[in-house]
Structure 1
Amino acid sequence: MSSQIKETSLQISGMTCAACATRIEKGLKKMAGVEDANVNLALEKSIITYHPDMVDDQDFEKKIQDLGYEVVKEKTEFAITGMTCAACATRIEKGLNKMNGVSMANVNLALEQATVEYEPSQASPADIIHQVEKLGYKAIIKDEEKDMIDYRQKEIQKQKRKFIIAAILSFPLLWSMVGHFSFTSFIYMPPILMNPWLQMIFATPVQFIIGKQFYVSAYKALRNKSANMDVLVVMGTSAAYFYSVYQAIINIGEHHAAQLYFETSSVLITLIILGKLFEARAKGRSSEAIKKLMGLQAKTALVLRDGVELEIPLEEVVVLDTLLVKPGEKIPVDGEVIEGNAAVDESMLTGESIPVDKNIGDALFGSTLNKNGFLKMKATKIGKDTALSQIIKVVEDAQGKKAPIQRLADQISGIFVPIVVGIALVTFLVWIIWVNPGAFASALEAMIAVLVIACPCALGLATPTSIMAGSGRSAEFGILFKGGEHLETTHHIDTVILDKTGTVTNGNPELTDVIVEPFVNEQQFLSLIGAAEKQSEHPLAESIVRGIQAKEIPLGSVQEFEAIPGFGVKATVDQKMVLIGTRKLMKQNSVKFSNALSIMEELEGQGKTAMLASIDGQLAGVIAVADTIKATSQKAIKRLKAMNIDVIMLTGDNERTAVAIGSQVGIEQVIAEVLPEEKAEEVKKLQAAGRKVAMVGDGINDAPALALADIGMAIGTGTDIAMEAADITLIRGDLNSIADAILMSKKTMRNIKQNLFWAFAYNILGIPIAAIGLLAPWLAGAAMAFSSVSVVLNALRLQRVKL
């Protein structure tokens, strides 16, 4: 057993008594490598002494979970500046993951963001910030990101100033370089520009003042036993600068011109800073979706306090405040109508262009637009809890998570710099020994070109910029991907399972058919039926009453009422005996209904729920209620089939209704009368057959299947639990969003592959060309800057995708 012993503490939730603490203590002590374990119930904390080569924190966490308890963790997002390439992101990630108490750290180069999951008893945000700064970067908690946004703007301005100064100082050096070529002999060359000491005066500020950021970053990288792009830049430009200084010194008093490379180092630094400036601006644009969403929020709210109307900043609104919303104004926060009515444009939230009528009791969502009425509302959700804030959070999370395809790029970037340094040294030796023996200048030029052309920036930006642009654009279409991995997986889907109620259908039953006997007055019939059903609490009764009231038919007066569970209702309305319900109810009350049986069967064959109604013991008519099909369902299913995707309906409803609904929308495969737990089993069966399954649902009963499917899609009009279990939320509730999500996944993956191809191809082609001496160092610098910018610009094309 190892002699090294460590101590760790874990915060534990779920303990209810001393027996719980004892149970955990005993369980931990039984683990191999654990010397001692002490669990404190009052502090909900355990202190464990252990041998780290035999057991670690993850093992303790699993053991505690197996015993039925949870290790408390917190997740914090940090904005990070100072990263220059994928190697920087990898270095920060590794540094954070090595910290005690940190269970997961994910660093996104394109977003300049780190997401860290940690145990609060062992680590804190301050510790994490200190670790990032120790690695040579700057971090700030994202809740305080306004400071970071200001910092980034200042950084862009600083880089811009540096570029202008570097360009002014490098221009005479570039002019002197032009004089070396025979084909540019027509350009006038002032003799003074060939003076090595004047060239040094121009080059030195560029190398050590403008280029100081590269030296600092390279030093910190090497101090932490890693290498990044700045190591390549520093090696290349320093070699060129110091060799030129050496040449200037040894050629003092000589008549022939020294072989100087001051222009190489200066122009390289100038071009790299220009590339960083373009990249920073482009990366700012790639978060445009979140900025647009944030920009939708109202800035102020009109609140009613103590009978006085006050206009206050949005941040000062509190839950249960009474707010006033005038026509043409944005609704400030989520809430409920308590007075008035209006048509509200919710297109920013749902994608639907038709305004929604809002009356007393209806839900309102912050940032939607009141088109024409005056509303008095009660605030129910503010700040981070509003629907818009939740959407922004999902988009940010998706942009911050890595897609599996990015792991390959990260692994390559992590080992890339040392390999390039090795190739550069080999290039130098091959040139000075074999290609051009003794020609130090030629060997140096080839080595510098290799160092500069090999920048792995494009490789590191290839995936995250596409994920950012793709998930941001999807959000504008009302499709929220919860992570980059889901954006990648979705394009593999070959089978879509649809829940029926609330997914294919609207989820709200409506009165669809009223068929009365010849001797019955329809208006009087509906007046009696509506009055009787108004007393019932059954959902179908509510649908019937709603349908009758929509026809503006006054309801009769009820003298007696009785609900008969499983059969229907019995009531006395306007002194008439009214029965509404099943065949059994009619038989029990000796009502003859044989002539209505064929009508009932026909209605039921259409997926409707048919009920018989009698007045004073005589059959008066048949009424039918149905959950109507969404207007877009049939077209959406046809579209999925055209994409060679199998569509299956999975429902707990009876088979006849399910088959009828399926036939109306074009679904041949219908699995009916399925319990919630059986839905997940059906998903498993398809996965076992090698299918990539997307489950689309909206209810609590769909949650297990949504979680189990390769991709779970929750209808945004459904329950919070369904949305929590799903990987994608379709805000509009329109099934066309399924095909849109798959198409956005395909377009994003194609964009990522294009970026990776060009990033790899650029390095694979560029390094050999530089090594054989066909690429001047300054051209290598320009090409390197262009490669990073081109990758970002290609990713930004996703923001113009039309579906």
Structure 2
Amino acid sequence: MSTTHVQYDIGGMSCSFCAESIRKAYERTEGVEEVNVSLAHEEVRIRYDSGVLAEVDLKDTLRDLGYTIRDPDKQKRFEEQQREVEQATRRLTLSGAAAIATAGLMLFMIFVRGTFESQALWMDLVTLGLALGTMFGPGRYITEKAYNSLRRRIFNQHVLLEAGAFAGLLGGFLGLFVFPTFPTVHFFAVSVFITTYHILSEYTSLIVRTRASRAVQGLLDLQPDTARRVRDGEVEEVEVDELESGDHVRIKPGESIPVDGTVLEGESAVDESVATGESVPVDKGPGDEVIGGSVNETGTLLVEVTATGDDAFLNQVARQVEEARTMKPGVVQLADRVLKYFVPGVLTIAVASFLFWILVPVVWSGGPFGTEANVQRGAFAALAVLVLGYPCALGMATPLALIRGGGLAANRGILMRSGDAFQIFQDVDTIVLDKTGTITKGEPAVEEVVAFDGNESDVLTRAASAEAFSEHPLADAILDCADERGVEFPDPDEFDSVTGKGIRAEVDEMRILVGKPGWLTEEGIDMTTARDDIDRLQARGYTVVCVAVDETVVGLVAIGDPVKNDAAETVERMKDAGITPVMITGDNERTATAVAETVGIDRVMADVLPDDKRDEIRRLQEGGERVAMVGDGINDAPGLTQADIGIAIGAGTDIAIESADIVLMGDRLGGVMDSYEIGKSSYRKTKQNLLAAFSFNGIGVAAATTGLVHPVFAMIAMVLSVSVVLVNSFAGQLLRGERLNTDFTAESDTSAVDTDASAGAEMKTA
């Protein structure tokens, strides 16, 4: 046995019934050992025996079902999605025009001619043309999907749709050639309307999914394409793919590190936020490891390559994201759970209704159902059951609730990327929050200034003067603080940067040292008077910069990552909703605990690496918790994908956004609970819509079995059911005069309060 894995990006999926159809098709294919389908990210991962099955057969299965395999290149994939939207728009335009024309003809018959019947052959033929044109024009892809599903004994929404559409055609032909009393035009009209409704339903799903991912870019773009390889003292620029373990690479200040490796020569501060998410650069020297994709800030480094290809850090993260995305258990939407039993149920009732009017009058001769087989009534009953059984309102219930919730969310600067976000969020009982860039602002800033000689302004003046020519991020924080406080400072007369330690400068004939406490001790500065304050500030998780003038320490500057203004309030909202907040970070436990205490979080996971974040999320899930995760960095991507709901801060990295179910367009943390409340409200609307739609379908099917339901009344019932769903979804907003944002690209963080968003509780806005 030769077990192989493949993964495909799929085009054409619209609901979890599509995911279920794909899963069933592969499970029934000899040689397939395991299949996982992700609707949210439109992907399938297959484990199969390559000795039994060829990969081309796997691709053919998808294509036979009516789906496409997208190009793995992200830019080309985006272009394909755009073409899908354009194609869906054309289909909706054509089928919508046919539906309007058909409705106009029916209204002409009813209100001008005063009859339900056409009474003219030209009307029958025109409606027949519209029906055939709709079904085999814009609706042809549905017919192909239904046929290929039936071939594999898969009963899904496409099968039921085509059963209803062909029932309409059959009824119309019976009216033309067999039973003159059959309402020919109305049966043909059924084929037009249910096909159009289905195209509209799939169009809404496609729009929601595509628009929410327009800005998504690739993870591996962070890696430079080339590197400076050093061999025998000669430097040559080569493609990164050509590098091998053991090669030596030189990286200059400001450049991205192209590979994972170990520093051989040089000292520098390296921004490793790509891996750890932490905003403060890490000092690197000989023997230290560096990670591909991180940024070399100050000095020049000579690095020995230790990992390439699939073993490199960024490639490992990408692979973890792909695996977690497809392995995460799929969520069957509420509507699809109903349709799972509704589809075969309707088909069974249609057959039973036909057989009833054929057999019962004969078997029970003289009973209330007549004395002979009633073929016309049986056919009418079976056809009416299929027509009334097509769940057009059921199919619209979830997309309309999703559009409603998505519009409310967009008005608050939130993108709800999948239906899972609406359905699962209400059951979440634990929210795991990354620290840097999520709870905190993600940029170093001065938190406190301590003066031992003079005042705080004097300390800032000395520190800013010494750091005036430095490019270190901590120097930027000091200079920004001086500007904010209006502190003026002269440029240094002399300046010397000691990589990884601090600054020596001469200002107005004063010798100034600014740097780490240990370095100042090495330089002969007595740090005794500053020790208590240094320990206090470090205990709070701050990076402490000491300032000495002429061999005497005059003050300290504490630099940290400030907590977001709404972080504590958001944590409190979580607790009020019965949700447990947990902080997870790659930072050290001391810093993590200090930040957690500031915002009111009791559970803290510190020193956690990217793959460990995913494992920690999985452990919580295995313990029975429903978990949402909030993050913004590449290091968060595997965890975001593993979580039941992944929430990305929109100001973060593209891979985090791509891995998430919900994207907060700004950096406001309060959007997490806004999303929760909107999701909870929208799911309630979905259930209300489904109850209303199912009531119409259930009553209609029961009535249709009598064989007495006229197609025009069936169509009226369909229109009423959709109207009820529409009114329930949007009437509240229309009555309150709210603007529904359906573009899903809003960046506003405020909106009118949705009074029904959380069972009567007022939603908080920024």
The TM-score with structure 2 as length reference comes to 0.62
Within 1, Cα distance between the matches of 2:355 and 2:208? 46
Aligned-partner Cα distance in 2 for 1:607–1:114: 42
Distance across 2 between alignment mates of 1:237 and 1:577? 94
Given candidates 503, 516, 532, the residue that maps to 2:466 is: 532
Contact 1:279 1:789 in 2 (8 A): no
2:445 is the counterpart of 1:505:
no
* Letter of the structure 2 residue corresponding to residue 419 of structure 1: T
Aligned to 2:633: 699
For 1:528, what is the secondary structure of its paired residue? helix
- Per the alignment, residue 628 of structure 1 pairs with 562
Query: 1:590·1:617 contact (CA, 8 Å) conserved in 2?
Result: yes
Following superposition, the deviation at residue 647 of structure 1 comes to 0.8
Structure 2: distance between partners of 1:404 and 1:556: 65
Match of 1:610, SS? strand
CA distance in 1, matches of 2:23, 2:114: 40
Aligned equivalent of 2:220: none
Partner of 1:547: 481
Partner of residue 596, structure 2: 662
Q: Is the 8 A contact 1:723 1:729 kept in 2?
A: yes
1:535-565 deviations in Å (ceiling 9; x for gaps):
5554323311332244351333242535274
Q: Paired residue for 1:404, among 312, 317, 332?
A: 332
Question: Residue 505 of structure 1: CA displacement?
Answer: 0.9
- Equivalence for 1:420: 349
CA positional deviation for 1:495: 0.9
- The one-letter amino acid of 2:98's match is K
Q: Deviations over 1:623-658 (max 9, x none)?
A: 222211111211111111111111122234344433
Distance 1:432 1:780, change over 3 A: farther
| 1:86-117: CA deviation from partner (whole Å, max 9, x where unpaired) | 99999999999999999999999xx9x99999
Q: 1:639 aligns with which of 550, 567, 573?
A: 573
CA gap of 1:707–1:201, structure 2 versus 1, over 3 A, is: closer
* CA distance in structure 2 between the aligned counterparts of 1:591 and 1:683, rounded to whole angstroms: 47
Other-structure match for 1:746: 680
SS of alignment partner, residue 561 of structure 2 = strand
2:118 corresponds to 1:165: no
On the 8 A contact 1:716/1:730 being kept in 2, the answer is yes
Rg larger for: 1
1:737 alignment partner in structure 2 = 671
Counterpart of 2:663, as a letter, is T
2:427 to 485, 492, 505: 492
1 CA distance for matches of 2:461 and 2:143? 86
Aligned-partner Cα distance in 2 for 1:231–1:422: 12
| Amino acid in the other structure paired with 2:101 | R
**Residue matched to 2:653:** 719
Q: Distance in 2 between matches of 1:521 and 1:728?
A: 47
Segments of 5+ residues of structure 1 without an aligned counterpart are: 1-30, 32-59, 66-70, 134-139, 178-197, 248-259, 297-396
Cα separation, partners in 2 of 1:555 and 1:101, compared to 1, 3 Å:
farther
Q: Which amino acid aligns with 1:162?
A: T
Alpha carbons 1:559, 1:571 under 8 Å: kept: yes
> Over aligned residues, Cα RMSD in angstroms?
5.1
- Aligned with 1:543: secondary structure? helix
Distance across 2 between alignment mates of 1:101 and 1:719: 39
Report if aligned partners of 1:101, 1:122 keep a CA contact under 8 Å in 2.
no
Correspondent of 2:690 among 756, 761, 770 = 756
Which amino acid in 1 is paired with 2:351? G
Q: Which residue of 2 aligns with 1:452?
A: 387
For 1:428, give the aligned amino acid: W
Residues 285-341 of structure 1: CA deviation (Å, up to 9, x unaligned): 777768998999xxxxxxxxxxxxxxxxxxxxxxxxxxxxxxxxxxxxxxxxxxxxx
Q: Secondary structure at the match of 1:507?
A: coil
- 2:181 corresponds to: 261
Farther-moved stretch of structure 1 (701-710 vs 275-284): 275-284
Question: Matched residues in 2 for 1:454 and 1:595: separation?
Answer: 84
User: Whole-Å Cα distance in 2 between the matches of residues 600 and 106 of structure 1?
Assistant: 53
Give the alignment of 1:103-502 within 5 angstroms: 122=56, 143-144=82-83, 146=86, 149-150=89-90, 152-169=92-109, 175=115, 199=119, 201=121, 204-205=124-125, 208-212=128-132, 228-232=160-164, 235=167, 242=174, 261-262=181-182, 264-270=183-189, 273=192, 403-405=331-333, 407-409=336-338, 411-412=340-341, 414-416=343-345, 418-429=347-358, 432-433=361-362, 434-438=367-371, 440=374, 446-447=381-382, 449-467=384-402, 470-471=405-406, 474-475=409-410, 477-502=412-437
- How far residue 276 of structure 1 moved from its aligned partner, in angstroms, is 6.2
Q: Which runs of 5+ in 2 are unaligned?
A: 47-52, 68-78, 216-324, 734-739, 742-752, 755-762
CA 1:700–1:294 in 2, change beyond 3 Å: closer, same or farther?
Answer: closer
* Pair 770,166 (structure 1): closer, same or farther in 2 beyond 3 Å: closer
8 A contact 1:632–1:736 mirrored in 2: yes
CA distance in 2, matches of 1:775, 1:443: 12
Shift of 1:617: 1.9
Give the alignment partner of residue 619 of structure 1, picking from 553, 569, 572. Answer: 553
Contact 2:198–2:392, Cα closer than 8 Å, also in 1: no
1:422 maps to a residue whose letter is V
Give the CA deviation at 1:778.
Answer: 3.5
CA deviation digits over 1:370-389, x for unaligned, max 9?
Answer: xxxxxxxxxxxxxxxxxxxx
CA distance in 1 between partners of 2:171 and 2:395 (Å) = 26
Task: Normalising by structure 1, report the TM-score.
Answer: 0.60
The equivalent residue for 2:299 is: none
Q: Any idea what SS the aligned residue of 1:571 has?
A: strand
Q: Is the 8 A contact 2:116 2:712 kept in 1?
A: no
Give yes or no for contact 1:604–1:610 (8 Å, CA) kept in 2.
yes
* Correspondence list, 1:74-89, <5 A: 75=9, 77=11
1:571 matched to which residue of 2?
Answer: 505
Instruction: Name the CA shift for 1:107/1:675 in 2 (closer, same or farther; >3 Å).
Output: closer
Q: Which residue of 1 aligns with 2:491?
A: 556
Per-residue deviation, residues 160-201 of structure 1 (Å, max 9, x unmatched): 223323443455775388xxxxxxxxxxxxxxxxxxxx9465
Query: Counterpart of 1:619 in 2: which secondary structure?
Result: strand
* Alignment partners' CA distance in 2, 1:662 and 1:89: 40
Count of aligned pairs: 587
Residue of structure 2 in register with 1:257 after alignment: none
Identity of aligned residues (%): 27
